[in-house]
């Protein structure tokens, strides 16, 4: 799907397509630290949730 959209953009406005082709990797590299922070925050919240649910799981297992 992305390839078809890129080809359509290339046909309609080739300078914008070339600009997109150059800027996409740069934007991806700039956003990479935010993805890492998102994974770390998600893992931390999952850990806190597991700690809070641990007593209920232990009591349910008895």
Q: What is the pLDDT along the chain (62 residues), one digit of tens a residue?
A: 989 998 998 899 989 999 999 999 999 999 999 999 999 999 999 999 999 999 888 888 77
Tokens of 8: 């359509």
H-helix or E-strand spanning residue 46: helix 14-61
Residues 6 or more apart in contact with residue 11 via CB below 8 angstroms = none
Alpha carbons 18 and 40: distance in angstroms, whole number: 34
Q: Quick one: which of 28, 27, 9, 5 has its CA closest to 17?
A: 9
- pTM tops 0.75: no
């Amino acid at each position: 799907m992305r390839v078809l959209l890129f080809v359509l953009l290339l046909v309609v406005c080739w300078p914008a397509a070339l600009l997109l082709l150059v800027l996409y990797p740069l934007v991806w590299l700039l956003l990479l630290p935010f993805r890492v922070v998102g994974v770390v925050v998600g893992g931390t919240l999952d850990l806190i949730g597991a700690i809070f649910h641990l007593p209920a799981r232990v009591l349910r297992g008895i």
